Amino acid sequence: MNNQKLAIHALNQRRTIVEMVHAAASGHPGGSLSATDILAMLYFEVMDITADNVKTIDRDRFVLSKGHASPALYAVLCEKGFLDHDQLVNGFRQIDTDFQGHPNMNEVDGVDMSTGSLGQGLSAAVGMALANKIDHKPYRVYALIGDGESEEGQIWEAAMAAAHYQLDNLCVIVDYNHLQIDGNVDEVIGPSPLDAKFKAFGFHVETVDGHDFDQLRAAFHQARLIKHQPTAIIAKTTKGKGVSFMEDNPSWHGSAPNDEQFEIAMRDLEGNHE
């Protein structure tokens, strides 16, 4: 898929993210918007996931380890046509609907793992990749973690296991937007240098601009070529990408825009389209 089509998919996803969080008056827009281009690349070019196989286990898998960024996952599943837009926007974070603040694999088609407790999603992804190895299945597993989430010890336990079992069918993407709910990650408890850490844990590492489709494409292609090692892609991103007042602002980690801010955000995104 060419970059222009990917950009249109990503823009539509960003609109849906803002619509969802605004309608619910609750949610996590900042880290959802930073991850949007990564998910557009994964779901529209990299991963084997279609309307025919979405309900099966015989396909590539995706684990959103930073489960609070569920708007990003729901939005890309909506853009793929797996979820209804109006039901999603009106149902996000509402009682008695399937679209809760953290994704539930038992309720939403295309959600491969229920996540929310930070650090645990990568362990689940390692288990999936190991199962595919044991069963001699060709499918790959992709896991998106947050840079703040990488402060969790379980991330590194999972990383050790991935390298120990030589899970070359596992690709970990770090949404490295430098911000978490308490502020700059390096000021909270600095995880840097993430590239050197993953290398030390036995990973092949690629560092890219997480909003550049050419760089993302090349990194995912390289990950497929690597043998006997898992891959970590350090994707440098901007929190709140695409919405002027949210970009690089930690206060939008878990805040919803009011009506006036919603209009500004949608105009920003329309301007990006132009």
For residues 223 and 229, give the distance between their C-alpha atoms in angstroms, rounded to a whole number. 9
Which tens digits make up the pLDDT trace of 145-198?
A: 999 999 999 999 999 999 999 999 999 999 999 998 888 898 899 889 999 999
Q: Say what percent of the chain tops pLDDT 70.
A: 99
Please name the residues in contact with 138: beta carbons below 8 A apart, sequence gap of 6 or more.
132, 169
Chain centroid to Cα 263, Å, comes to 25
> Over the stretch 250-263, which tens digit does the pLDDT of each residue have?
999 999 999 999 99
- Domain enclosing residue 195, as ranges: 3-273
Q: Check residue 190 and give its pLDDT.
A: 83
Helix (H) / strand (E) element for 183: namely strand 183-184
Coil vs helix vs strand at 61? strand
Mean model confidence pLDDT for the chain:
96
Mean pLDDT score, 99-104 = 96
CATH code at 129? Answer: 3.40.50.970
Given a cut of 80, is residue 103 above it in pLDDT? yes
CA distances from 90 to 16, 24, 101 (A): 11, 8, 13
Tokens matching residue 142: 């992709």
* Predicted pLDDT at 110: 95
| Phi, psi dihedrals of residue 191, rounded to the nearest 5° | -85, -5
C-alpha angle 130-134-137 in degrees, rounded to nearest 5: 90
pLDDT of residue 274: 53
Residues linked to residue 144 through DSSP beta bridges, in sequence order: 64, 173
Give the model's pLDDT for residue 266. 97
> pLDDT tens digits, residue range 112-143?
999 999 999 999 999 999 999 999 999 999 99
Q: How many domains does the chain have?
A: 1
Residue 64: pLDDT band by 50, 70, 90 thresholds? Answer: very high
Torsion of CA 235, 240, 241, 247, to 10 degrees: -110
Residue 225 pLDDT greater than 80, yes or no? yes
DSSP assignment letter at 46? I
Tokens of 76: 């890309």
If you average pLDDT over residues 17-44, what whole number do you get? Answer: 98
pLDDT of residue 159: 98
Which band of pLDDT confidence, cut at 50, 70 and 90, is reported for residue 247?
A: very high
In this prediction, residues 10-33 reach a mean pLDDT of: 98
The rounded distance, in Å, linking the Cα atoms of 125 and 65 is 9
| Averaged pLDDT for residues 23-39 | 98
DSSP for 116-133 reads -STTHHHHHHHHHHHHHH
